[in-house]
Amino acid sequence: MNFLGYRSRRGSFIGYFLIGLVGALIGGLVVGSVLMEQVDKRIASMPKDALDITEPQKTPAVKYSDVSGQGLSVAAIAREVGPAVVKISTLRERVYYTFFLERMVQQEQGLGSGVIFDRRGFVLTNYHVIEKAKEIGVVLSDGREFAATVIGGDYYTDLAVLKIDGDNLPCATLGDSDIVQVGEAAVAIGNPFGFDNTVTAGVVSALGRSVPLDAEQGIYLENLIQTDAPINPGNSGGALADERGTVMGINTAIYAEAQGIGFAIPVNTVRQIAAELIEFGKVRRPWIGITQVWVITPRVARDYRLGIDYGLAIAGYVRQSPVGSAGLRRGDIITSAGGKPTKSVADLREAVNSEGIGGTLELGIYRDGRTFTVSVNVREAP
């Protein structure tokens, strides 16, 4: 199963990666990385005075086109969002060595899409579009060209924010992905294969999808919007617009072995990540230092006569980390976090995210036939 429009860690930004059998990965799921995947709740711990990226966009979203309650037409959506969708060109350098060990540098060009979401010149795109780029150019729909600087990028959510300096910049309105419904109209706008400002239409096919970012390390993009609006290489970083004329998501990947299966990062996640990138240049994440766990199911517990019915057995952790400082070790089984049972990795992830950076998380531990509680100080991920 391949995903086009997504990068390989070894190749150009238009990459292919393989979806493995998820079941085979459960035993080796990497919590330290997986904790980085859920961003929807994590940002609740942000300082109250954090930059509000929605401030320049006080104009309300485009309303429905008629009293019957029907949404805007595709043409109207394209007129509303299209001007703010830009083409992004990149230049990378790849170093290789000849048979005679002579160092050679090869330049590689890449294309992608982006969305201007702030009149100060902030542009959203995918991280894989600009990763390792030496030069980044932005071309607007009206033909204006700008050199862009990287404000920040985040591999784990595949999002990045660029900055261009210009006057009278078009600006898309970021919508609300929480109100998006399966079956409603979806319009993808981008630059597939360099064809500027291409508009394709479909529907929202599903919500809450997950695709692997690095299956071997257990890192996934989660809570994605699935659409059948045609998306191709070069659409990455472009807008997925809703019938209200607002951006519901940022297009990020397609399923190459099928027709009409594409994915977009929901705009509520995008908004939160963009705020962190603009404020700090990176995404701060809560961390307790566990790198690998073994999920204990009732059947596993019975087969191994563990004396408990569920939990997460610590298979790996960083010694100089919150859990290491708390005295935890390999083989300890986490039975609860924050007072709630930990029957899955998601349970632990949610507890860590809810506690936030600087918080104290209470973990219930089962070790050698006895149970006890430890307090773990949640820190920012290194």
Which residues lie below 8 Å from residue 153, measured CB to CB, with a gap of 6+? Answer: 127, 130, 131, 159, 160, 161, 277
Please give the pLDDT value at position 53.
Answer: 53
Cα separation, 249 vs 273, whole angstroms: 13
Cα separation, 256 vs 4, whole angstroms: 6
Based on the number of CB atoms within 10 Å of its own CB, is 100 exposed (0-12), middle (13-18) or buried (19 or more)?
exposed
Give per-residue pLDDT as tens, 309-364: 999 999 999 999 999 999 999 999 999 999 999 998 889 988 998 999 999 999 99
Active site residue 68: no
Please give the pLDDT value at position 217.
Answer: 67
DSSP conformational letter for 48: T
**Higher pLDDT pick, 38 / 175:** 175
Please give the pLDDT value at position 225.
Answer: 97
Active site residue 178: no
Average pLDDT, the chain: 83
CA dihedral 244, 247, 251, 254 (to 10 degrees): -20
CATH 3.60.150.10 describes domain 286-380? no
pLDDT of 49 higher than 90: no
Active site residue 128: yes
Element containing residue 238 per DSSP (H, E):
none
Which of 128, 228, 336, 347 is catalytic? The answer is 128
Mean pLDDT of 102-111: 86
Contact 176, 225 (CB under 8 A): no
DSSP conformational letter for 217: G
Which of 158, 228, 332, 347 is catalytic? The answer is 158
Contact 207, 182 (CB under 8 A): yes
Closest CA to 274 of 154, 183, 366: 154
pTM of full prediction above 0.75: no
Q: Which CATH class is domain 3-280?
A: mainly beta
Confidence band of 61 (pLDDT split at 50, 70, 90)? very low
Which residues lie below 8 Å from residue 185, measured CB to CB, with a gap of 6+? Answer: 71, 74, 77, 201, 202, 203, 204, 242, 243
SS3 107: strand
Domain residue spans of the chain: 3-280, 286-380
**Higher pLDDT pick, 254 / 104:** 254
Element containing residue 355 per DSSP (H, E):
helix 345-355
Which of 236, 321, 336, 354 is catalytic? The answer is 236
Cα separation, 55 vs 304, whole angstroms: 56
